Amino acid sequence: MTMEQMIPTVIFAAMAILLIGLSLIVVTAKSVFRSAIALTAALGIVAGIFALLGADFVAASQLLIYVGGIMIIMLFVIMLSQRSTALTERQTNEQWLWGALFALAVTCALIVQFRAVYRGVFATSVPTPTSVAIGRLLLGDMIVPFEAISLVLLAALVGAVYFGLDYEEKL
């Protein structure tokens, strides 16, 4: 393996180890806020892995939708709806050992299957970005369905705001 092929492999391995560590923090942290922050970082690492594999559109979508949207909403819900004493509750139950053993068994089974299927099949070329082709498709042949979906989403947003108003404000 040449140095050019080894650098992405080392970066991928470091990101995978960091992702596993952050995922463990998500499920074992006593503070819901710390768990949410670790989940945000883990989802950011997943976006980095997608970018490393050449799926730049999926990486950007991961950052915008999950990290930028869902995690911010989750943090607002945590901060605005709970008392400060409820933010430090136990996040695990008594069955954690069985869950860890099951996860280890599934991981071992997946490793065995991947090694059998992908023996010597790994690509040595750099993946090509996908966002240019997707952009040309969405703004070329698929422009009418793309704009129709945006209008449907706008109508859903207006409907959600309307239903969120109090009854007296509607009159």
Q: Where are the domains of the chain?
A: 1-83, 128-171
Q: Which pLDDT tens digit goes with each residue over 57-90?
A: 889 889 988 888 877 887 777 777 665 555 555 5
Do residues 33 and 78 touch, judged by C-beta distance below 8 A? yes
Looking at every residue in the chain, the average pLDDT score rounds to 81
pTM recorded for the entire structure: 0.64
pLDDT band, residue 41 (cuts 50/70/90): very high
Residues 6+ apart with CB under 8 A from 129: 54, 56
The CATH number of domain 1-83, selected from 2.40.50.100, 1.10.274.10, 3.90.550.10, 1.20.120.1200: 1.20.120.1200
Provide the phi-psi class of 23: left if phi over 0, else alpha when psi is between -120 and 50, else beta: alpha
